[in-house]
Amino acid sequence: MPTKSKNPYLPFGDQQNAPWYGKDILSVKQFSRPDLNYIFAVAHEMRIMVERVGTFDLLKGKILANLFYEPSTRTSSSFMSAMQRLGGAVIPISEVKYSSVAKGESLPDTVRTLGCYADVIVIRHPEVGSAALAAKHARKPVINAGDGVGEHPTQALLDTFTIHEELGRLDNLNVTMLGDLRYGRTVHSLARLLTRFKGIKMNYVSPEALRMPREVIEEVAAKGYPQSEHATLEKILPETDVLYVTRVQRERFEDPAEYEKVKSAYVITPEVMKPAKAEMIVMHPLPRVTEISMDFDDDPRAAYFRQMEYGLYVRMALLAMVLGKA
């Protein structure tokens, strides 16, 4: 991944030789295990700093353009919070209908524009490959915050950081992904990223119509990792260390009748979780609809709200890295 052209006006103190300086973050395929160890170490430092002082000026003078063509609560607000906790500022474009996109401006022209005003661009867009297209035309680093049913790399980074912080390891785990594995971009990125670790077994539980895409299964298989597919959770739950639940993504269905058939395929309740290990975690990228009952929220294994917070630290780390301050 080439580094974006150096800005001659960058202030003193930017570490232009830092390994991630000026890089786009588009796919989990970019990250090796040493990269992940580094990101987790920086994220851990960010956590300590936020807990100690809340806000500090590592990115003072830097500006983030937060460009969201699709709805978001966590990714959008955690990137904004991350930049502001690091002392930087944000141009928030969450309602593209109020931007020149509504006048028909192309994605390349929009990111060319934002590159004039910001130092880094975070983008969420409904089309696969949109973040890569944006990166091609932006002279500032672009971070993919979800490109349609493609990838959501920063989510996979925060997901693996969550597993590390919660279970203390990322090797030798039995990871079960449940729900909408066809349209859920978070599980596509997570399955790929888990191949950086040793002794991982991946289980996919979904309705027939929402199975994990073949290309993801083939990529994981090519790296020698065992995988299994299931229609029900019962058999696989007792051996699961991480249960990663996903929402059935209504907005990706062309036929509403097809959505109705599968929308309530699985619901995690305290009763369902009885056969699970005492030391395991339940994750969810959120938002949830009905797939995890609120009755389960107080169970110590319910890690999904802590997972959101870990996202802040990982995104702080990523911003600092691409801006040459980590």
Residues forming contacts to ligand CP in the complex (CB under 6 A) are 72-76, 155, 285-287
Tokens read off for 239? 């051996």
Q: How far is the C-alpha of 229 from the C-alpha of 202, rounded, in Å?
A: 9
The CB-of-247 to ligand CP minimum distance in angstroms stands at: 9
Q: How far is the C-alpha of 273 from the C-alpha of 252, rounded, in Å?
A: 29
DSSP annotation of 92: E
∠ Cα 307 312 313 (to 5°): 95
Q: Which is nearer to ligand CP, 204 or 244 (CB)?
A: 244
Q: Which is nearer to ligand CP, 151 or 165 (CB)?
A: 151
DSSP annotation of 224: T
Q: How far is the C-alpha of 200 from the C-alpha of 226, rounded, in Å?
A: 8
The CB-of-115 to ligand CP minimum distance in angstroms stands at: 23
The CB-of-15 to ligand CP minimum distance in angstroms stands at: 29
The CB-of-124 to ligand CP minimum distance in angstroms stands at: 7
Tokens read off for 190? 């997570």
The CB-of-185 to ligand CP minimum distance in angstroms stands at: 9
Q: Which is nearer to ligand CP, 21 or 68 (CB)?
A: 68
Q: Which is nearer to ligand CP, 238 or 287 (CB)?
A: 287
Cβ atoms 280, 241 nearer than 8 A: yes
Q: Which is nearer to ligand CP, 159 or 165 (CB)?
A: 159
Q: Which is nearer to ligand CP, 206 or 307 (CB)?
A: 307
The CB-of-101 to ligand CP minimum distance in angstroms stands at: 19
Q: How far apart are the first and last CA of the chain?
A: 18
CA 195 to the chain's CA centroid? 16
